[in-house]
Amino acid sequence: MTLNLKQRRNKASTVLVATGEINSETSGSMLQALLPLVREGRPLRIDLTAVTYVSSAGLRTLLVVYREAQHAGVSVTLYGVSEEVRFVMSATGFLDFFEAGEAAAAEAKVQAGTVR
């Protein structure tokens, strides 16, 4: 199964919409698509609504992207994660990183709001 990737630029962020499976065959192309976006420095959202399966290599790729983004001070958010993918990510600990990121982002947003 292949992976389709589409970019969409919103006012505040860049969205990468993935369709298919993220596995050892497809994760390389996803990494190639994502790393330049991370370097652009805009907040990045990865839409996994149409992703049916993320393999071990796929989860590692997502975490590498997260680490790269953290290194560059860019926020990365996953959304549209299916129940099954979410369970796998939760059981293997990968979700903790992204949830921590989401929580921190939410908190930053709240704080920014109060300042205003």
26 binds another protein per the rule CB under 8 A: no
The 10 Å Cβ neighbour count of residue 40 is 11
Structural contact between residues 70 and 100, judged by C-beta atoms closer than 8 angstroms: no
79 binds another protein per the rule CB under 8 A: no
Please count the CA atoms within 13 angstroms of the CA of 9 that sit on its side-chain side: 4
The correct pick among 56, 106, 110, 111 for binding another protein (CB under 8 A) is 56
Residue that the structure tokens 């994760």 belong to: 27
Cα–Cα distances in Å, from 115 out to 53, 104, 109?
41, 16, 10
Site for another protein (CB under 8 A): how many residues? 24
The correct pick among 36, 71, 73, 116 for binding another protein (CB under 8 A) is 71
77 binds another protein per the rule CB under 8 A: no
Site residues (vs another protein, CB under 8 A): 23-25, 31, 35, 55-57, 59-60, 63-64, 67-68, 71, 87-88, 90-94, 96-97
